[in-house]
């Protein structure tokens, strides 16, 4: 997933300062993010109407991936940022951490890529999901592939594939992983699992917004405007996270791989490699803001009255 090594860490004061900035930022967001995720998952389990809408299924999967990352993988990174080295110092732990990190981050990206295209189907081709077979082909199968393909791919490359690793216990994610030395495999991994999703998500979102605006103007809102607006706003809001925190890393990686290998080294090592964590941490905040139907009752009443006043 990384186009080159993750940079080595030395216990210099400037470097520790960089670590502490990330440590405090991630730490301050971690608990609120977990609590909101739990609240959304609780509502999904207990609210049958919310659970029955297929457009909410992909949102819930994004929340689950975010929750897993925030509760189980992020603490490993926080410990590394706090002490400056990997604990425990073992190759087995490094292999697990790399696999788990790559799996969660790339699953999040691939899943969101499908969500971006699925919104086009739900708005403009809703009849595709009206039958059981249609739901299976256009909804459930793509979701299952999105959440299973990535962990299997990285398990094959990181755990099963036999090559010699030289781990650095003072580097984020233990430094480079050996399968990246295979040019075609590294290129396939980076292009398919990071570059394309990072570019397709904002592209699909902007395209959806334009299609909705054009369609609304032509048909004078004869389509289900309330549902369409909700689905569009959800996608736009979530896509902004990827545009801010994934696209810069993808574009910088493109420059580093094919043009300037040392392009903004320090910024890449100390900051850009960590920006995907903001997507996972902020995902619950954005999702709950886009799901007023699961807000507390008093909040929903205020929200509804504001919308009514705006229409008047």
Mean pLDDT on 182-194: 94
Tell me which residue has tokens 């925190």.
Answer: 245
Higher-confidence position of 300 and 297: 297
**Per-residue pLDDT tens digits for 107-141:** 999 999 999 999 999 999 989 999 999 999 999 99
In three-state secondary structure terms, 171 is: strand
Tell me which residue has tokens 């999702």.
Answer: 287
Give the Cα-Cα-Cα angle 212, 215, 220 (nearest 5 degrees). 115
The answer to whether the CB of 247 falls within 8 A of the CB of 206 is no
Task: Give the model's confidence band at 5: pLDDT under 50 very low, under 70 low, under 90 confident, else very high.
Answer: very low
Residue 243: the pLDDT is 96
Residues comprising the chain, all counted: 312
Higher-confidence position of 17 and 165: 165
Mean pLDDT on 266-278: 94
Token pair of 233 as six digits: 């706003």
Residue 6: the pLDDT is 44
Task: Give the model's confidence band at 227: pLDDT under 50 very low, under 70 low, under 90 confident, else very high.
Answer: confident
Q: Quickly list H helices, the chain.
A: 13-46, 48-52, 55-68, 74-83, 91-124, 132-135, 141-154, 183-190, 196-219, 225-245, 247-258, 265-270, 276-289, 297-311
Mean pLDDT on 237-248: 96
Residue 310: the pLDDT is 47
Mean pLDDT on 63-77: 98
Cα(228)–Cα(222) distance, integer angstroms: 11
User: pTM value?
Assistant: 0.89
Q: What are phi and psi of 263, to 5 degrees?
A: -60, 125
Task: Give the model's confidence band at 23: pLDDT under 50 very low, under 70 low, under 90 confident, else very high.
Answer: very high
Closest CA to 106 of 220, 167, 216, 189: 189
> Per-residue pLDDT for 185 more than 60?
yes
Task: Give the model's confidence band at 311: pLDDT under 50 very low, under 70 low, under 90 confident, else very high.
Answer: very low
Mean pLDDT on 230-245: 94
In three-state secondary structure terms, 8 is: strand
Q: How far apart are the first and last CA of the chain?
A: 51
Cα(120)–Cα(208) distance, integer angstroms: 6
Tell me which residue has tokens 């080159």.
Answer: 4
Task: Give one DSSP letter per residue of 227-261, joined into a string.
Answer: HHHHHHHHHHHHHHHHHHHTHHHHHHHHHHHHT-T
Closest CA to 279 of 250, 252, 231, 239: 239
**Per-residue pLDDT tens digits for 92-106:** 999 999 999 999 999
Share of the chain above pLDDT 70, in %: 88
The answer to whether the CB of 172 falls within 8 A of the CB of 80 is yes
Mean pLDDT on 278-294: 95
Closest CA to 235 of 257, 199, 205, 198: 205
For the chain, list the domains and their CATH numbers. 13-311 (1.20.1070.10)
Q: What is the CA radius of gyration of the chain?
A: 21
Least confident of 46-55, 187-196, 210-219: 210-219
Residue 10: the pLDDT is 45
Token pair of 235 as six digits: 């996608």
Beta bridge partners of 171: 8
Cα(234)–Cα(67) distance, integer angstroms: 19
Mean pLDDT on 41-57: 92
Task: Give the model's confidence band at 201: pLDDT under 50 very low, under 70 low, under 90 confident, else very high.
Answer: very high
Q: What are phi and psi of 8, to 5 degrees?
A: -95, 150
Residue 17: the pLDDT is 80
């Amino acid at each position: 997933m990384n186009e080159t090594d993750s940079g080595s860490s030395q216990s210099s004061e400037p470097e520790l300062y960089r670590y502490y900035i990330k440590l405090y930022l991630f730490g301050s967001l971690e608990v609120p993010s977990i609590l909101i995720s739990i609240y959304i998952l609780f509502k999904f389990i207990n609210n049958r109407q919310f659970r029955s809408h297929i457009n909410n299924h992909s949102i819930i999967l994004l929340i689950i991936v975010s929750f897993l990352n925030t509760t189980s993988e992020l603490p490993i990174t926080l410990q590394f940022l706090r002490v400056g080295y990997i604990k425990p110092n073992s190759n087995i732990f490094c292999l697990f951490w790399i696999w788990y990190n790559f799996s969660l981050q790339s699953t999040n990206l691939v899943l969101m890529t499908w969500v971006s295209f699925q919104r086009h189907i739900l708005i403009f081709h809703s009849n595709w999901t009206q039958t059981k077979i249609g739901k299976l082909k256009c909804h459930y199968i793509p979701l299952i592939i999105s959440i299973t393909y990535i962990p299997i791919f990285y398990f094959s490359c990181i755990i099963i594939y036999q090559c010699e690793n030289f781990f650095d216990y003072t580097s984020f994610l233990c430094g480079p992983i050996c399968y990246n030395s295979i040019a075609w495999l590294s290129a396939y991994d980076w292009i398919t699992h990071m570059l394309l999703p990072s570019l397709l998500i904002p592209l699909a979102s902007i395209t959806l917004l334009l299609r909705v605006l054009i369609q609304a103007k032509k048909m004078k809102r004869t389509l289900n405007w309330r549902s369409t607006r909700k689905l569009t706003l959800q996608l736009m809001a979530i896509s902004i996270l990827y545009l801010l925190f994934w696209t810069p890393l993808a574009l910088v990686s493109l420059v580093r791989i094919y043009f300037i290998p040392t392009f903004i080294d320090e910024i890449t090592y100390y900051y850009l490699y960590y920006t995907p964590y903001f997507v996972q941490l902020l995902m619950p905040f954005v999702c709950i803001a886009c799901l007023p139907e699961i807000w507390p009752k008093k909040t929903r009443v205020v929200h509804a009255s504001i919308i009514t006043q705006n229409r008047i």
